[in-house]
Amino acid sequence: MQVLAHKTGGTYRGLRPFCLPRAGQGPMLSTMRPNSPQHLAHGKAAKWDTSCVLLDDSASQGRLDWAKIFGNTSPVEIEIGTGKGTFLLARAGERPEINFLGIEFARAYCRYAADRLRRRNLTNVRVVQAEAAAFFKICLADASVWRVHIYFPDPWPKRRHRRRRLIQPPFAWDVRRVLRAGGQLIIITDHIGYYRQIRNVLRSVPGLAPVPTPRADGELVGTNFERKYITQGRSFYAAAWLRYA
């Protein structure tokens, strides 16, 4: 199957732009930045133990079986762009009755987050190193997910880079496909232009309706980027959609 995300004409540093999975390699591994961000890895990566949390490539050869991965049939929520894993660490600890999967394509972040989550002994959370749009398309079954969280997705502010944005029509249709009826997509960004694009894209997907975003005092979700941007006084734009059909 072709991985359609990031059809960039070869300019996206570190990514192979338009490619087929290699034999024996999960499809989502074919479009990722292999090792960035480098600064996290210096001298520490060798000590990270990602066992039990980081899914290996064999998990993604086809549609995922949640019961096999988590050993139970609890509802599943997905966070895209897990970064250092701060959201998953808090949310998985608070909600043991829910299973969480983090999707992150930067290898160092992925391994850093997995090690952090393992040290907390959380049994309801896994992380996968993958490009999210390809992973949704290939690895997630219809109506298999309760919530999709996307916090501070890379905004790619330059016009010529906009096609690299994650939230594009094919991905939005896949989000709708994998959400269960009653399931939700929640997005927060600090970039007004991307926020407008996200709303336009999602407006065109049948079966998704905008709903009020969960409100909180102080922090909205407590990710690293939210905390950094709060100190910079930036505005945030949050939106949520419900799959009703």
Ligand X SMILES: C[S@@+](CC[C@H](N)C(=O)[O-])C[C@H]1O[C@@H](n2cnc3c(N)ncnc32)[C@H](O)[C@@H]1O
- Taking residues 179 to 198 in sequence order and writing x for each that binds ligand X by CB under 6 A, - otherwise, the string is --------------------
Select 209 or 224, whichever has its Cβ closest to ligand X. Answer: 224
- Cβ proximity to ligand X: between 18 and 209 the closer is 18
Q: Omega of the bond prior to 37 within 30 degrees of 0, cis?
A: yes
Q: How many CB atoms lie within 10 A of CB 58?
A: 8
Pick the stretch among 53-61, 150-158, 201-209, 210-218 that binds ligand X (CB under 6 A): 150-158
Catalytic, out of 57, 115, 154, 174: 154
Residue 85 tokens, joined: 């894993």
Structure tokens at 35: 């090792």
The helix/strand/coil state of 228 is helix
Candidate residues 48, 66, 225, 241; the one interacting with ligand X per rule CB under 6 A: 225
Using CB under 6 A as the binding rule, whether residue 8 contacts ligand X is answered as no
**What are 129's strand-pairing partners?**
104
Site for ligand X contains 106 (CB under 6 A)? yes
Half-sphere exposure of 9 (CA within 13 A, CB side): 3
Work out whether 219 is an interface residue with ligand X (CB under 6 A). no
Give yes or no for a contact between 187 and 80, defined as CB atoms under 8 angstroms apart: no
Closer Cβ to ligand X, 209 or 230, answer by number: 230
Residue 154 touches ligand X, criterion: CB under 6 A: yes
Tokens of 228: 């950094």
Rounded CA-CA distance 75/211 in Å is 20
Q: Which stretch binds ligand X (CB under 6 A): 45-53, 68-76, 98-106, 176-184?
A: 98-106
Catalytic residue list contains 174 = no
Rg (CA), the chain: 17
Q: Does 152 bind ligand X (CB under 6 A)?
A: yes
Dihedral-angle region of residue 76 (phi above 0 means left; psi in -120 to 50 means alpha; beta otherwise): beta
Q: Which residue is nearest to ligand X (CB)?
A: 81
Sorted by sequence, the CB contacts under 8 Å of residue 210 that are 6+ apart come out as 199, 202, 239, 240, 241, 242
Question: Is residue 171 involved in binding ligand X (CB under 6 A)?
Answer: no
- By the rule CB under 6 A, 100 interacts with ligand X: no
Which parts of this chain interact with ligand X (CB under 6 A)?
80-81, 83, 103-106, 109, 131-133, 151-152, 154, 166, 223-226
User: Catalytic site residues?
Assistant: 154
